[in-house]
Amino acid sequence: MNKKMIAALGCGALAASMMTMTAMAGEDVITVGYAQVGHESDWRTANTQNYQDVFSAENGFDLQLVDCDNDNAAQLEAVRNFISQQLDYIIIAPIQSAGWDTVLQEAQDAGIPVIIADREIEADASLYDAWVGTNTTNEGITAGNWLAETLDGAEANILTIEGSVGASATLGRTDGFAQVAADHSEWTLLDSQSGDFTQAGGQEVMESFIKSYEGQFNVVICQNDNEAYGAMDAMDAAGITYGVDGDVILISFDATHDGLQYTLDGKINCNVECNPIQAETVKGVIEKMQAGEEFETTTLVEDQAFVAPGITSEYATTMTDEVLAGRAY
């Protein structure tokens, strides 16, 4: 293309024709669709950023990332759109764990490999090619084990702010914690409501819990950090103290940077990590598929747990400034 031709083209047309030139140069750009859950939490923002960094043009990818705004129907539509564009690979972080059979069959019929990421789905493993994510049931078990260790037989009256209804992260954390609670007759699960993994949701649920159970609870479990921020605001407003020096033990999940800052400050007693940095692993799977090599069909991203200074635990690392400094997201 000569200078005159470039000058004659508008910006969009120029971009399009540059893309065609790249494709014609035989640089084998791999097209990838990522049906992302939404932007409900800091965890999610970190996960989105990680995919954008890793599936970059420099790395040879053309990434279409669709923010599905926590809307299950929109997510199914996004995947169908990827199929109709005949993208090379489809990645899905499933909002809901159920209801995937039909669309996965459609992707398979179109010959497009599908990788399920972050969360789990209730579908036969033959309907997708690989899974990369975290074990949220284990995260719930860790939270339960830590609580048992710290209470050492004392009574617990527990309120839980769950994540989004029907999400595997919610189901796993709830189930894991319940497995430990089943061995503790001195624990009472007072109530459990969804805060939709958002700060506003966490605050709203905590405000309503305070109306119903003020003076009756000594443990609050938030299934992610953003819900914990909302719950803290609600407890502050009601004059309820929490954390290592407070009346209420506060447990959170995700261990994002700000969540760990609150843990270091002693406001969150225990924060169970869930690692959002998963894109490099997914890229590794895609590269093996692309090369026709054998690939991991299941890859677990490891998590740990953190506790506030002054607490030592066999299940968690005690927070320090250095730990916080090492947390980029």
Q: List interacting residues with ligand GYE (CB under 6 A).
A: 40-41, 43-44, 118-119, 169, 197, 224, 253-254, 274
Query: Cα(260)–Cα(255) distance, rounded to whole angstroms?
Result: 5
CB of 98 to ligand GYE, least distance (A): 15
- The closest alpha carbon to 97, from 48, 38, 165, 163, belongs to 165
Q: Is 133 helix (H, G, I), strand (E, B) or coil?
A: strand
- Indicate the residue among 164 and 269 with the shorter CB distance to ligand GYE: 164
Query: Cα(283)–Cα(285) distance, rounded to whole angstroms?
Result: 5
- Indicate the residue among 88 and 196 with the shorter CB distance to ligand GYE: 196
Q: Give the number of C-alpha atoms closer than 13 A to the C-alpha of residue 127, restricted to the C-beta side.
A: 14
CB of 243 to ligand GYE, least distance (A): 20
CB of 233 to ligand GYE, least distance (A): 17
- Indicate the residue among 169 and 219 with the shorter CB distance to ligand GYE: 169
- Indicate the residue among 47 and 145 with the shorter CB distance to ligand GYE: 47
- Indicate the residue among 113 and 202 with the shorter CB distance to ligand GYE: 202
> Which tokens sit at 177?
């914690």
CB of 41 to ligand GYE, least distance (A): 3
Query: Cα(117)–Cα(89) distance, rounded to whole angstroms?
Result: 13
Query: Cα(232)–Cα(238) distance, rounded to whole angstroms?
Result: 10
CB of 175 to ligand GYE, least distance (A): 14
DSSP string, 153-177: T--EEEEEEE-STT-HHHHHHHHHH
